[in-house]
Chains A and B, each alone.
Chain A
Amino acid sequence: MTTKLFGEPVRRREDARLIVGQGRYLDDIGSGAYAAAFVRSPYAHARVVDIDVSGALEVEGLLAVYTYEDLTGPMAEPLPVLIPHPQLTHARTGYTLVRDVAHHVGEAVVMVVAVDRYVAEDAAALIEVTWEELPVVVGVDAAEAAVHAVHPDVPDNVAARHHQERGDVEAALAASAHTLSFTQYFERSASMPMEGKGVHARWDADDSALRVHSSTQASTSVRAAIAAKLELSLEKVEVIAPDVGGGFGVKIMHPWPEELLVPMAAIKLGHEVKWVEDRREHFISSAHERQQRQEVAVGYDDDGRITALDVLVWHDNGAYTNYGIIVPINTATQLCGPYDIPVYRARVNSVYTNTVLVTPYRGAGRPQGTFVMERTMDRIAQERGLDRLEVRRRNLIQNDQFPYDWGMTFQDGRPLVYDSGNYPGLVDKLEALVDWPGLEDRRAEAATRGKLLGAGMAMYVEGTGPGPYEGAHVEVLGSGKVLVSTGLTSQGQGHETVFAQLAASELGVPIEDVEVTTGDTRRFGYAVGTFASRAAVVSGNAVALAAKGVREKALRIAAELLEADPGDLEIDEGLVQVKGTPGASIPLRTVAVLSNPLRYAFDEAARQATQFAGPGDDSKPPIAVGDSPGLEYTDYYSPLRSTFAAGAHAAVVEIDPATWEIDVVQYAVVHDCGNVVNPMIVEGQVQGGVAQGVGGALYERMAYDRDGQLQNASFMDFLMPYASEVPDVDIDHQETPSPLNPLGIKGAGEAGVIPGSAAIASAIEDAVGRRIAAMPISPTELYDLMRSDGEQVPRLPSATGVPA
């Protein structure tokens, strides 16, 4: 192989199309479709007494109105529990349309279909639902108190008690030289992709076939769900994820009620139907994440080395548990990060509240776990008078401890084993990148400008690339074009570029010849989805394996034609040639033509493959036994278990003590995702993740009132950071290959967001000298904290590695 693209900062091939408005998003599809709109519950917990649709029936252009009463067969059953788990003992899911009780504001009660969205909303506004309000539970504290129950048959509001354990924590805590215990809070945010959800369905009555476009992260599974719920044969259902304007986790949840109702309506009406979520709908009827109350007890020795860690988490899972307990498991299993914690126990109580359901949002439980671990490290540093870098160095898993087996079970149901890493290397690089020893000088300089400067840091380990598998199909056409398809979906990450890089590298063709298709069940039917930083790891390796299969077949065919040994051949720039023998070559496109012996010549190229075109070998059949026509190959990559990426972040903040405004003046990231396929794309992922980390730390929260009404369900009041609020990120890479997969890569998608709140909380604490025990924090809250009698914390000199 001489065409080197692996590791190159190849420009994103999808950008030109997306930037000039030639992307094809869900709402670009089906301009003639009928439009759906929904009547949604205005109450957080209420019983439907009556639904009066008579007003809507007068509206010109109305086509159909559906309530629960109109649902039949599997559609009338509750939505599936997507990821069952033995500890999810009290799973509850809603219905596609509220059956009798709504459990959060925004739950769909009535679907209206009309000639366009305007008319559909006019009609929806005329439908009168009579409600009987029920008591409302908001927040983990109220859920735990269980004065009221979200679901009457779950009186303690506990959906699951998740438990992970390593050693006897109570004995180890009792034996520890020092102990600390504290409680802290983490608030809700949400994925908030620029494009909300959306579904378009077209029913072909003659073929009894359904084609669905959905803005999803999991088209194959949406397909299976639609087939099951609408009682269609799988081969009669196609699901395609078109260009998707961001996912960040919320679109891995499925099937959303609309993904089932829109196809149902298309079938019943015999006409295309489309629904495009608006922003308010996205706020109140999609998914959120992150609220937890964390009760921590830690034991440590005189040197600040942790001897035992015991964590009890109250995790708000919202009204339903469609996505199982993946987020609690991530918190419990990823909490310890890069540290060698000898004795550990995590208990996560996942509780119901009358709020939008909780499913993974980029980071998926890890930002919360990291907040526990890193704030614990800061407290130990303060108690022992140690530099914060030093206390971390003393606790890190060392390079000779890999593979590091935690003896626990990860979110993929496989053993929690860190495959590889170099955590001391991350700290060394971060120290240099942020000039940690120079912080005291910067603090003094900021003080001359009347600003309080503080620095904080945080580390994480992220399990990425979980199975069970992904597959890929690679085919070389007679034109020389190389088609690559994989079943997982794309939401803007750059898959078209990365998968093309991998296929081109493996095959030895120009990247311009490669065309990538993702998330289209017509092209590839077996897939899991895009989540858990897994696309490059799982589909990337599958693409490389499939391309390798094509390459081997091409060399086998070319070897016969060139009368050479396959081992003496190479493919470069689309030409198969004998190494060191100029002229002895054949274009790969010709090999593709000849790989498919023909009777009929439909074009000039095909003539070469017809039965009278050449002498041939009459002693063999045209296609060898065990071989197949065509220069194509399908392969799958199924990882043994997840691979573990890691990183270290530092934030430097300046705070104005007159207004308590918080400015992140520097943000530094050292990042290790194994072998890097495309450093430009990895840096983009990190930068985007940091933006969401800053958002979660300083701006975003879901402001539910006690009645379960979301007070800030718009971009005016739910504050996502603008470009002006996101710092430039200083990035350094470390590459510790994964031994688990052929390419040695680890996932990079979620990393940037994970330690944001921990690092920024640490920086603010360092700047103002007050304990930060809840995130996010806004200037008005910081002002309240500074006026309170909240805990004062010692500021540690960060200029030197202070000895214990």
Chain B
Amino acid sequence: MNSSLPGGLNGRLQELLLLVERPSRYLGGEWNSPEVAPGGVSVALAYPDIYEIGSSNLGLAILQEVVNEIEGASAERVYSPWVDMEAGMRSSGLPLFTLETHRPVSSLDIFGISVPHELTYTNILNLIDLAGLPLASVDRRDGPIVIGGGCGTANPEPLAEFFDLFVLGDGEEVLTSIVLTVARAKEAGLPRSRVIEELALLQGVYRPADYEVIYNTDGTVGEVRRLDGSDRKPGKGLVDIDRWLYPRKPIVPFCEPVHDRLNVEVFRGCTRGCRFCLSGMTGRPVRERSAGEVVKLVDELSQITGHDEVSLCSLSSTDYSRIDDVASRVTKICRDRNMILSLPSLRMDAMSAGLAARLDKGGRGGLTFAPEAGTERLRAVINKPISEEDMAHAVLHAVRAGRRRIKLYFMIGLQTETDEDVLEISRLVYRLRDVVRRESLPPPSFNVSVSTFVPKPHTPFQWCAQESREGVRRKQDLLKSSLRSKSVNLSWHDRDMSAVEGFLARGDRRISSVIRRAWESGGRFDSWSEHFDISIWESAWEAAGLDPSLYLGRERGADEVFPWEHLDHGLDRDFLRRELERALAGELTSDCRGGDCSKCGVCTDFDTEPRLSGQWEGG
């Protein structure tokens, strides 16, 4: 542990370490963790969940290295303390600290907090509070500038009160600009408020305080008005990942993280056009890393980390245009180093026998596929047209390659879904099981995970109502009664959690009072079933005088103004509306990788185009 820097909390921290469940979460000093020099611009990069989850986040790992490579700047990690550590910190007056130097976060210049999903919102408030900072942005006169980023910033409005700024889209270039701006401002001795004003002008930065929201009498949003009267619209950052070859020194955690493997990103963005997928919509366009760089990174990083598994990660790795070539070359490296290759996001219609054979045969967790819906009709609605034949082939390839566990992800509560669609999930699983039986192959176990669909902003389903909790319960019961087999394990998401997620996903600024009340009532780790308590949220809704049905069970009008409408992720509203209409008509929209432009608006808006690896490598 580096305790030589001023402000280090080492002595007080050590007293707590022997009292908590897993001290290694708070140690720092892991293999490849950076040596942080004092001075310059200091950045805390926080993930609002425990170390094991946060340390698997590739985005923060990339940003930490990017900042640490800037002369005169340093980035340190922060994770949510587990409940035992939080209790100890509060009782002993120990503020939130960084892992690298164990300095109080409040002593740094920038406090960047990842916003991965809605059920981390109370943890985000907890981080700000543990750092000793006022929760509301307007109450913070000094201390670090609090900046949010990540997937959750597609609609940051429910958190607008608590953040000084948000970074939209890819963070590499934006954070670099932020750090350089803060460095100049520090040198010039500018006050905090002026620095924030300057940062708000950067491309990819959104300052909530620059806007006011006007509400209609029926509770819907009437207008999100820019206070300076200009028509400037904050747009997302977009980088070419072949120019940002990070991370180059991945930290190897002491404890086992949720994704215990070397992650090498093969592309960013996805244009398959699944209509429910927030990342697929806001992450556009596809930007592939060249095959040579992918293989080089695997080669170098596996040596300097010691991992025994490498994962080629993206939103849908089998879509990578040179996947066979890269998988073949990476498999050779794996063979030489006694490693295995895994692909975390597999499409069933892109699973070939050759690819299956290259994947880890022992299978740490089996193979995971996401058919999403039980019928071809419903899969057309969500624009994920995987045929049952493709599914059968994928399962057979997986079993022939030695896999003994197949995990299948489905959703219920999708638009136009009927009971028949739900029951067809069970029948589909049985048919896939029988396909394996007919081939006399060793029967795998099927783990069927069923989540509840939550309509997200910036997707074609942003206009749609979310299935009621009662409706979800009924559909879950249908599945429970129809899917009973020794070889099938069924699991489902907590419908109350999905309701809270949906409420926050398309919420407006008034929601901030609900989040604050939930946190004040002890809301923490809401994505953890042992900590989630719906009564906390129900009381918070009631106390705030907000009706959750305004956000959940209501079909939005075609012209309704959304709370996130003023943020530019490049997608044309007309495109999204068109996609909704096509969804309801069961019409498919093709992937623009093949050259068939769906006119989503991103390429025009950002003056870019999809970049495929094969385009410049002769593939």
A and B interact physically: no
Residues of B within 8 A of A (CB): none
Residues of A within 8 A of B (CB): none
